[in-house]
Amino acid sequence: MKSNWKLLALMALLSSVVTLAAYNLLGFNQRDVIFNESSSTPTITGRLAALTGNGPTATPGDFSTAAEAVTPTVVHIRTTMTRTVRQQQVPDIFRDFFGDDFGGQSRPRRQQGQASGSGVIISKDGYIVTNNHVVQDADEVEVILTDKRSFKAKVIGTDPLTDLAVVKIEANNLPAVTLGDSDALKLGEWVLAVGYPLDLESTVTAGIVSAKGRRIGILDQNARQQQQQNDSKADTPVESFIQTDAAINPGNSGGALVNLRGELVGINSAIASATGYYSGYGFAVPVSLVKKVSADLLKYGNVQRGYLGIMPIELNSTIAKEKNAKVGRGIYVESVVDNGAAKTAGLEKGDVIVKMEGQPLDSDAQMREIIGRRRPGDILNVTVNRNGTERDFKVELRNRNGGRDVIKKTDVTATNTALSSLGANFEELSAQDAKQLGISGGVRVKKIMDGKLAETDIEEGFIIVKANGKNVKTTKDLQAILSSVKEGEGLMLIGMYPNSSRMYYYAVPV
Give yes or no for a contact between 467 and 447, defined as CB atoms under 8 angstroms apart. Answer: no
Catalytic residues: 133, 163, 253
Instruction: Find the angle CA(408)-CA(425)-CA(478) to the nearest 5 degrees.
Output: 65
- How many C-beta neighbours within 10 Å does residue 269 have? 31
Report the Cα–Cα distance between both ends of the chain, in Å, rounded: 54
Backbone dihedral angles phi then psi of residue 129, each to the nearest 5 degrees = -100, 140
Q: How far apart are CA 5 and CA 243, in angstroms?
A: 13
Pinpoint the alpha helices (H) of 261-329: 287-299, 317-322
Nearest to 478 by CA among 438, 429, 405, 408: 429
User: Degrees (nearest 5) of the Cα angle 138, 141, 196?
Assistant: 105
Helix and strand counts by DSSP (H, E) for the chain: 12, 28
CA separation, residue 206 to residues 182, 214, 266, 429 (Å):
17, 20, 14, 51
Query: Cα 465 from chain centroid?
Result: 32
Residue 401 carries which DSSP code?
T
DSSP designation for 307: B
Pairwise CA distance, residues 331 & 56, whole Å: 39
**Among 88, 84, 86, 92, CA closest to 101:** 88
What contacts 207, CB < 8 A, 6 or more positions away? 190, 191, 193, 244, 245, 246, 247, 282
Q: Facing residues of 256 across strands?
A: 194, 267
How many residues are listed for the chain in this entry? 510
From the number of C-beta atoms within 10 Å of its C-beta (0-12, 13-18, 19+), residue 107 rates as exposed
Name the β-bridge partners of 303. Answer: none
Angle at 124 between CA 136 and CA 79, to 5 degrees: 20
Report the alpha-carbon distance of residue 209 to residue 186 in Å, rounded.
Answer: 7
Q: How many other CB atoms sit within 10 Å of the CB of residue 360?
A: 11
Q: At what angle do helices 475-484 and 409-420 cross, to 10 degrees?
A: 60
SS3 labels along 231-273: CCCCCCCCCCEEEECCCCCCCCCCCEEECCCCEEEEEEEEEEC
